[in-house]
Structure 1
């Protein structure tokens, strides 16, 4: 009887601890800009500041429309990438600042550039770690730069999981001790 209960307890602990490590990412939203830019195999240059395409804002970015003031910073992505602030967008009391922290993927083909990586997103003082995707196409005379961000779900700390596990084991021990004194 004792052994089967202990097995059930450890299985429950394993399921609880194992399921807590599966974290999902939440989409913050997407925002697109139109404006002049140029790029080559090492750098991306904004010509002037882009304009928000209001019809393409989703999620938390819907507070920005075509009246938003966008400041964009040109950057070099090869051979060495240095983290930097790429966008700052202000409309009324809302401010969005996006920092590119690292590049994971660079796809540079004739007529198209795509960059993905990790970003820090500051929306009205709320800072979120996330991923970004930036692309530019030269299919027509009006290049479009689109940007989307996804928040990274927080990963549970090992020390928190350890405390939870030791608390559950301690509770099980107290339960067994109490049960043993009641049956004796």
Structure 2
């Protein structure tokens, strides 16, 4: 159980509004820190927050069919706005457009190696630190933590899909 003095102010406010298991609060804290990291990393590599989020989707889906329309859907913006966003990323050298091999009318968004390298280069020290942190736990503890985090990620994705489908029903 976390001591009150160890709990950030924002989390103390949230805890006053609802109750949850300590693991859920710890995960919420990780999510909050990850969001802060994404904003800091976006600024470091010279991208707007939405453009950085788009780069994340493009990098995650590399090798699949991700065009401006699909990117817009993932980001919750119009196809036209997504096309403008892709134009900015392409002009800055972060992505390229490539014709689809099977449907030449279709354009896929492809991350450029230099942009991927810059983003991953900024993350490398963090991954090293997290790997070192993991070594503080026994293999059994690592397995339990991994199982929890993977299951939590599944729950987050499921809840996200539920929110997305319920908002489109309105």
TM-score (norm 1): 0.21
Task: Specify which structure has the higher proportion of helix.
Answer: 2
TM-score (norm 2): 0.22
The answer to which structure, 1 or 2, has the higher relative contact order (CA under 8 A, 6+ apart) is: 1
